[in-house]
Amino acid sequence: MKRKSGNLRKGLLFISPWLIGFVVFTVYPIVASFYYSFTEYHITRPPVWTGLENYKSLFHDALFRKSLLNTLYYVAGHVPLELIIGLFLGVLLVQPLREIAFYRGVVYFPSIVPKYAFAAIAIWFFNPYVGLVNSLLSLFGISGPMWLSDPKWTMPTVILASLWGIGGTALIFMAAIKDVPKELYESAILDGATKWQMFRKITLPMISPAMLYNLVMSTLAALQTFDLPYIVTSGEGGPANSLLTYVMYLYRNGFVYLKMGYASAMAWLLFLIAAFLTLLIFRLSRRWVFYYGSR
Amino acid sequence: MVLGREVKRMKLGKKTKERLRLNIMRILLILVIAAYVLPFYWMVSTSLKSDRDLLLVPPKWFPVPPQWSNYRKALEFFPFFSYLMNSVIITGGSLIGTLLTAPLVAYGFSKIRWPGRDFFFFLMLSTMMLPYAVTMIPTFIVFKKLGLVNTHWPLIIPSFCGGGAGNIFLIRQFFRTIPDEFLDAARVDGATELQIYWRIMLPLSKPVLLLVGLFTFIGSWNNYLGPLIYLTDERKYPLALGLPAFLDRYGTYWNWMMAAATLSVIPIVAFFFFAQSYLIEGIKLSGLKE
């Protein structure tokens, strides 16, 4: 018994750096932002209780709605593409080619290039008049769109540009595909299965845990997308606010207008949306995620 | 005899088919690689173009003669070395914080048996799902009250609190592969937990600590929203803020802009050449295996 309580002390001592951080940088801020969300709070004066006022105003705030819809647009466009192309790249990157390590490096590299550098490149790359993309398109007789200047095209452009950073996802798929036991394929070949059948019936179910991991991480990241749309629009949100994302609008309310209460209400709603989506994904995953070896 | 030849031909056919398949894969890979490399190529090539060549349609693929003076001109308006220094300070601080505390916490979560451990571990993992924006405002207010806004501290201090759930998780997974009997032997000999941690566990975990260091470097170096919130004085800007600021001011001088972008990417390229094999091997460990 004495040993046990001694261990409790030791254990808590070892995790104390995290525990302190957890209280100061996670629990306290969650509680505080919940309180702030019911107040009017300009950082220079103490918060004033206003009840549900912030939430009510959000409901009537056209820009809030716009930013939420833009973000959902981004999630719906970016996440499936990241998973499908990531999986496709994962399959390519396990092929027994001599120079495969080189390909892995080149696919991975852009994912660690900071978004702020890539944003600068993307603006130039997609310049409607002298950018490389439209020049290449014109070689094929296509007159390219206005990309970041046309409200209809801004979001597709950013989604396209964001796909440049999916190397990490591709490598996770690659590792998962490599881990599929070889015996499964060998017995399938004996049964005369085609490559495609093996992919559908063996590879996909076997890598479904990796798919779930990437789906959750990609969705959460996309929901908070900020850097690329913020920098390519100089923080303005682009033509017709077509690139104003949720976190961009939250940032603007909190740190440009200094409406900390209003921004906190947005933060809490984001918290709820993220939690809801995560739970939904996990709930639905029971139908398609397959854990090899467990049952 | 005839049957033998038939089998041989079938095998041969299978071999050429496999080779054909591999070559199709190779071509697909080369196309993908081209799409991944093109923006970089375009950045570097633009950075070396004269003002006149910038606006040519169709564009010039090779900047002849290369205008190295673009870099000199860009540096007149783009205090690259000051930004670089600030990035190094912030990232260096985060590295120290993470490497000092993450293994400690991981040890408490794997090598000591205590009641409530699994509960706290679960709590820690669940924070990985928490959006940064949720805690951003109260955290800012705390740092403001401490008078630390517009210093590098708010970007460094949090990493001294375990360096993030993902890093702790990664090290814990590694610690679990080290047999407990090993530590029990040291405990019987009267070693304290801290001694065991310092003398046995840390020396054994160099590979995973290196990996955690690399991930921390990327996270801190690439962080944009954090510096944007906390730093207002341009002399304290890291590259994350410096490059976009330059973009806003001189956005139409594309060759200077791309020279500044190239300079900003060089540290990451250097880092990548040093780290790529560890990172590509290590990424499989990140959060997948349990």
Average pLDDT, chain B: 90
* Residue among B114, B133, B284 minimizing CB distance to A7: B114
Res A295: pLDDT:
42
For residue A259, what is the DSSP state? Answer: B
Q: Is B145 on the interface with A (CB under 8 A)?
A: no
CB-based contact A185:A198 (threshold 8 Å): yes
Q: Which two tokens stand for residue B123?
A: 């709590």
Query: Per the CB < 8 Å rule, is B124 touching A21?
Result: no
| Structure tokens belonging to residue B183 | 């530590």
Instruction: Please judge whether A33 and B46 are an interchain contact, meaning their C-beta atoms are less than 8 angstroms apart.
Output: no
Backbone angles phi, psi at B149, to 5 degrees: -70, 145
B276: which DSSP letter? H
Q: With contacts defined as CB-CB under 8 Å, which chain A residues touch B137?
A: 29, 33, 36, 254, 260, 263-264, 267
Domain total for chain A?
1
Q: How many CA atoms lie within 13 A of A229 on its CB side?
A: 32
Does A51 reside within a domain? no
- Cα separation, B217 vs B270, whole angstroms: 13
Residue of B nearest to A261 (CA): B137
Q: Which domain holds residue A105?
A: 62-288
In a domain, A18, yes or no: no
Contacts of A164 in chain B (CB under 8 A): 36, 39
Cβ separation of B43 and A124 shorter than 8 Å?
Answer: yes
Distance from CA of B73 to the nearest CA of A (A): 18
Å between A14 CA and nearest CA of chain B: 5
Which one of A3, A18, A133, A294 would you mutate to disrupt binding with B, by most B Cβ within 10 Å of its Cβ?
A18
Residues of B in contact with A278 (CB under 8 A): 129
Question: For residues B284 and A214, what is the distance between their CA atoms, to the nearest angstrom?
Answer: 12
Residue A123 falls within a domain, yes or no?
yes
Q: Measured between alpha carbons, how far is A256 from B232 in angstroms, rounded to an integer?
A: 12
Mutate to test the interface with B, among A112, A162, A281, A294 (most CBs of B within 10 A): A112
Contact B105 A213 (CB under 8 A): no
The string of pLDDT tens digits covering residues B213-252 is 999 999 999 999 999 999 999 999 999 999 999 998 887 8
Q: Which of A15, A36, A227 sits opposite B137 (nearest CB)?
A: A36
Please check whether residue A89 lies inside any domain of the structure: yes
- Tell me which residue of A251, A205, A207, A202 sits closest to A226, measured CA to CA: A251
The pLDDT value given to residue A4: 58
B284 with A175: Cβ contact below 8 A: yes
Q: Which of B201, B199, B189 is nearest to B112 (CA)?
A: B201
**Within an 8 Å CB–CB cutoff, is residue A72 touching chain B?**
no
Residue A165 lies in a domain: yes
Q: Which residue has the higher pLDDT, A59 or B58?
A: A59
Which amino acid is present at B62?
Answer: F
How many Cβ atoms from other residues are within 10 Å of residue A163's Cβ? 16
Reported ipTM: the value is 0.92
- Amino acid residing at A155: M
pLDDT at B62: 87
Helices B239-250 & B69-77 angle (0-180, nearest 10)? 100
- For chain B, which domains are there? 2-70 (no CATH), 77-285 (1.10.3720.10)
Q: Tell me what the mean pLDDT of segment B140-150 comes to.
A: 95
Distances (CA, A) of B215 to A177, B103, B221, B282, B285: 23, 14, 10, 10, 12
CB contact under 8 A, B38 and A32: no
| A16 inside domain | no
Would you state the structure tokens that stand for residue B215, as one six-digit string? Answer: 């991930």
| Amino acid occupying residue B285 | L
Chain B residues whose beta carbon lies within 8 Å of the beta carbon of residue A7 = 112-114
Assess B75–A contact: CB distance below 8 Å, yes or no.
no
Q: Which segments in chain A show pLDDT lower than 50?
A: 1-2, 295
Provide CB contacts within 8 A for A229, sequence distance 6+: A74, A158, A237, A238, A243, A244, A245, A248
User: Measuring CA to CA, which residue among B105, B104, B145 is closest to residue B127?
Assistant: B105
- Whether B15 shows a pLDDT value over 90: the answer reads no
Q: What's the rounded Cα separation, in Å, for the pair B260 and B47? A: 8
Identity of the highest mean pLDDT range in B71-80, B89-98, B175-184, B250-259: B89-98
Which residues 111-170 of chain A have a CB within 8 Å of chain B? Answer: 112-125, 129-130, 132, 135, 138-139, 164, 168
B141: nearest CB among A30, A43, A119: A43
Sign of CA dihedral B201, B203, B206, B209: positive
Cα distance between residue A52 and residue A29, in whole Å: 19
Q: In CATH, what number is assigned to the domain containing residue A78? A: 1.10.3720.10
Classify residue A37: in a domain, yes or no: no
Angle at B176 between CA B170 and CA B182, to 5 degrees: 140
Q: Residue A244: in which H helix or E strand, if any?
A: none
Judged by CB atoms closer than 8 Å, whether chains meet at B57 and A130 is answered as yes
User: What CA–CA distance (Å, rounded) separates B248 from B142?
Assistant: 30
Contact yes or no for B261/B43 (Cβ under 8 A)? yes
pTM: 0.92
